[in-house]
Amino acid sequence: MEDSKLLQQTDDEMIDQAFKELLDSYLATKHRKKVEIITKAFNFAREAHKGVKRRSGEPYIMHPIAVARIVCEDIGLGSTSICAALLHDVVEDTDYTVEDIENLFNPKIAQIVDGLTKISGGIFGDRASAQAENFKKLLLTMSDDIRVILIKIADRLHNMRTLGSMLPTKQFKIAGETLYIYAPLANRLGLNKIKTELEDLSFKYEHPEEYLQIQKKLENTQMARVAVFEEFTSPIKAQLDKMGLRYQILARVKSPYSIWNKMQTKHISFNEIYDILAVRIIFTPKYPDDEINECFSIYASLSKIYKPHPERLRDWITHPKANGYQALHVTLMSNRGQWIEVQIRSERMNDVAEQGFAAHWKYKEGGGSEDEGELEKWLKTIKEILDDPQPDAIDFLDTIKLNLFASEIFVFTPKGEIKTMPQNCTALDFAFSIHTFLGSHCIGAKVNHKLVPLSHKLQSGDQVEILTSKSQFVQPSWINFATTAKAKAKILAILKREERTLQQRGEEEVADFFRSENLEYSSQNIKKLCRYHMLDSVEKLYSAVARKDIVLGESDKNVVLEKPSSQGWKKYITFGFRSNKSQKKEEDEEKPVAQTSDIDIKKVLHISTDDKNKNYVVADCCKPIPGDDVLGFIDDNNQVVIHKRQCPVATKLKSSFGNRLLAVEWESDQDLYFPVNLYIKGIDHIGLLNKITQVISQQLNVNIHKLTIESKDGIFEGRVQLLVHDVSDVKVLSTNLFKISEVKVVTRIENFDDKPEN
């Protein structure tokens, strides 16, 4: 009894201290000091969650307090958002309703709590696409009040900070969903600091070993970076002092996730990444209206000290990013012969860079906000996509992500108006961005007064005029070169609408055929026609008939009546032509390599659930081998597919089918061999092939299954397929191949013919 009282007292002290720290943070801001309503919200939430503990063992109220603190400190929102953050789980987890919140507080707080409740329930539900459907709800609530998504991001950040107490399966799911959805959302809303932390925390749980390795390397190289920073910034400080500026110079170190991501995409080592250190200059402008000119004045002064890279000037001041980011990025050559990026920002620009739009939102009493240009456009685009809901929630997620991840370019209308578009967008995307009618009837475009096709990719600074015709309609091929979420969504919606009309017409024509031939119009007879024409659905049959791809006649009548002649002809077709799938299967069976699908994967897997009786197979998309960080996914055939955790397919599965994931790990087994492909590149030299084969076959006694080497202009490229036990074999191989002086690149590739990105 005494122990429980002591424990309760300790908990109360911890809660009181956490709330005091939240209030101190709030009082340090420039917001109006509405301490009374925040205290009321805290006391209400504390009472509502009384006696409830989190999985970590701490009182549940500590979570809402932590979320409110992130909302206040990291995002910069005021009392309404802090109250909503404190109350965000009350309606979902207790008997209180949204009406209770409205009566006790105010309609705005109740509306935000309601929005948070709608997107919270069922995120770990049983339905396959629960997370994707949930993401739709999340985006819908953004149009009501953007603070809903900001508080949700804060909620996700605290969940990620405390993810260690969750089961491994939940960790993979939540980390995958965070990397796939929430980090890009935070980035799009300008929350750079939060985006970076979400990425790093996801990386930490998905690839713990790699995370620790990079952290250790950053610690080991810290002293060297400090020396470079001091030497590089010393003359810069002297020049800024001479200009009479108030400023601070900070070192910006690349995040572990960004480093790892670059290592993966560029196939380089930690030591080959040269932009780990960047320099940030944050200054107080002498005159607020003159901050842009002062940025360029600082740049001009720096270019007198160090030589700037002519192609790496990034002017985000004149043309801010869609998330509000403004800065001048220049890359300078240091005295050590190293390129170093310098980011020049005013204090205001720095606030926007760290806190996004929240840094300059001023919410009026009774709701409403200042018009925020690009953000409003973005929200409007998402609302338009949501107006045409797609049946496949995974497709929906991919479509939205096109917008979230896109880098931006700036193009001009014929009247000189500037439009922000995603990088790699086409003339067709531009047409749909202006109006759906314009996109639907687009026949081409004039870019800088020259005629170009719809698929033409736009560049920053292009002036674009869209050409239309009333006789033009949306074509199925357009989906192949549309890149923006809006264009893809509109094209698919129009095509589906047209397809439905076509199917209705085809269905009527099929019914007419059955009537005219006195045949029974039944689903069984329709299926006979589908099999005869080798179509896998009734809808495809109706469409083909409406398009006149299939003209129903005597042979179709015979098929329905099951006459022998038609059966014989059908058998002949089936026998005479084999599908690509069966052909590929036969080709695969001819290969003498021990395929991973032939191996009993359960022998080398530690399975943390009771699903050991299922069939386990290795995913073809990423071909993991023992030692790779992996997870299991229960597919539609109830078999468990083993994917690498960083595999793009696995990333999509984590964010959309989280409830079907399994935590699995490799166990050592030196009896089994797995095929692996290596890509090798370097300086061509006589006897090089002999050196490579000696290292692999003689020194390491590894079986080479396939080897190709090509040489051009003194550079060789090679690919080798080997049979290994695990990842450690690959590391030993790579280390020893690097000892050959001519070899400059050794990297693992998924398929033998793949070529790594440069």
Q: How far apart are CA 560 and CA 472, in angstroms?
A: 39
Q: What is residue 136's predicted lDDT score, i.e. its pLDDT?
A: 63
Q: What is the spatial order of strands in the sheet that 616-618 belongs to?
A: 616-618, 640-644, 630-634, 661-662
The Cα-based distances of 644 to 171, 382, 444, 613 in angstroms read: 15, 31, 43, 22
Q: How many CB atoms lie under 10 A from the CB of residue 648?
A: 12
Higher confidence at residue 654 or residue 676? 676
Contact 713, 684 (CB under 8 A): no
Q: What is residue 637's predicted lDDT score, i.e. its pLDDT?
A: 76
Q: What is residue 150's predicted lDDT score, i.e. its pLDDT?
A: 85
**Residue-wise pLDDT tens digits, 237-275:** 999 999 989 999 999 999 999 999 888 877 778 888 878
Q: What is residue 364's predicted lDDT score, i.e. its pLDDT?
A: 32
Q: How far apart are CA 676 and CA 601, in angstroms?
A: 16
Taking the CA atoms of 524, 529, 534 and 535 in sequence, report the sign of the dihedral they define: negative
Q: In the predicted model, what is the mean pLDDT of residues 51-69?
A: 87
Closest Cα to residue 210, out of 755, 558, 731? Answer: 731
Asked if pLDDT for residue 375 goes beyond 70, the answer is: no
Contact 102, 112 (CB under 8 A): no
Local structure of residue 166 (DSSP, 8 states): S
Q: What is residue 468's predicted lDDT score, i.e. its pLDDT?
A: 86
Q: What is residue 196's predicted lDDT score, i.e. its pLDDT?
A: 92
SS3 breakdown of the chain: % helix, strand, coil, rounded to 5?
A: 55, 15, 30
Asked if pLDDT for residue 601 goes beyond 70, the answer is: no
Q: How far apart are CA 119 and CA 89, in angstroms?
A: 11
Q: How many CB atoms lie under 10 A from the CB of residue 563?
A: 14
Q: How far apart are CA 397 and CA 181, in angstroms?
A: 8
Taking the CA atoms of 530, 533, 535 and 538 in sequence, report the sign of the dihedral they define: negative
The Cα-based distances of 336 to 182, 340, 452 in angstroms read: 39, 10, 46
Q: What are phi and psi of 721, to 5 degrees?
A: -110, 125
**Amino acid identity, residue 353?**
A
Q: How far apart are CA 136 and CA 389, in angstroms?
A: 9
Going by pLDDT thresholds of 50, 70 and 90, the confidence category of residue 572 is: very low
Concerning whether 230 is annotated as a catalytic residue, the answer is no
DSSP β-bridge partners for residue 320: none
Q: In the predicted model, what is the mean pLDDT of residues 738-743?
A: 86
Q: What is residue 342's predicted lDDT score, i.e. its pLDDT?
A: 93
**Amino acid identity, residue 608?**
S
User: Tokens standing for 688?
Assistant: 């090089």
Residue with tokens 């397929």: 721
DSSP string, 404-465: HH--EEEEE-TT--EEEEETT-BHHHHHHHH-HHHHHTEEEEEETTEEE-TTPBP-TT-BEE
Q: How far apart are CA 441 and CA 432, in angstroms?
A: 10
Work out whether strand 277-284 and strand 339-346 pair parallel, antiparallel, or are unpaired: parallel
Local structure of residue 310 (DSSP, 8 states): T
* H or E stretch at 343: strand 339-346
DSSP β-bridge partners for residue 641: 617, 633
Q: How far apart are CA 670 and CA 623, in angstroms?
A: 18
Which domains, and CATH codes, for the chain? 2-206 (1.10.3210.10), 215-360 (3.30.460.10), 407-483 (3.10.20.30), 493-573 (no CATH), 583-666 (no CATH), 674-749 (3.30.70.260)
Q: How far apart are CA 482 and CA 489, in angstroms?
A: 10
Q: What is residue 383's predicted lDDT score, i.e. its pLDDT?
A: 61
Residue 273 Cα to chain centre, angstroms = 23
Q: How far apart are CA 357 and CA 186, in angstroms?
A: 11
Angle, vertex CA 668, rays to CA 667 and CA 673, nearest 5: 110
Q: What is residue 574's predicted lDDT score, i.e. its pLDDT?
A: 27
User: Tokens standing for 666?
Assistant: 């490799």
Contacts of 98 by beta carbon, 8 Å cutoff, 6+ apart: 91, 110, 113, 114, 117
Burial of 149 (0-12, 13-18, 19+ CB in 10 A): buried
Q: How far apart are CA 20 and CA 13, in angstroms?
A: 10
Q: How many CB atoms lie under 10 A from the CB of residue 595?
A: 14
Range scoring the smallest mean pLDDT among 358-362, 571-575, 652-656: 571-575
Buried b (16+ CB within 10 A) or exposed e, 657-679: bbebbbbbebeeeeebbbbbbbb
Give percent of the chain above pLDDT 90.
Answer: 15
**Amino acid identity, residue 569?**
W
Concerning whether 93 is annotated as a catalytic residue, the answer is yes
Q: How far apart are CA 311 and CA 234, in angstroms?
A: 25
Asked if pLDDT for residue 593 goes beyond 60, the answer is: no
Q: What is residue 368's predicted lDDT score, i.e. its pLDDT?
A: 39
Q: In the predicted model, what is the mean pLDDT of residues 326-330?
A: 91
Q: What is the spatial order of strands in the sheet that 450-452 belongs to?
A: 450-452, 442-447, 464-468
Map residue 744 onto helix, strand or coil.
strand
Closest Cα to residue 569, out of 558, 561, 581, 580? Answer: 558
> What does pLDDT average to over the chain?
79
Closest Cα to residue 639, out of 667, 658, 611, 663? Answer: 611
Higher confidence at residue 588 or residue 465? 465
**Residue-wise pLDDT tens digits, 672-707:** 788 888 999 888 888 888 888 888 877 677 778 888
Contact 332, 308 (CB under 8 A): yes
Q: What are phi and psi of 53, to 5 degrees?
A: -115, 155
Contact 487, 438 (CB under 8 A): no
Choosing from 47, 92, 376, 554, the catalytic residue is 92
User: Tokens standing for 14?
Assistant: 């911890």
Higher confidence at residue 371 or residue 90? 90
Choosing from 93, 465, 498, 499, the catalytic residue is 93
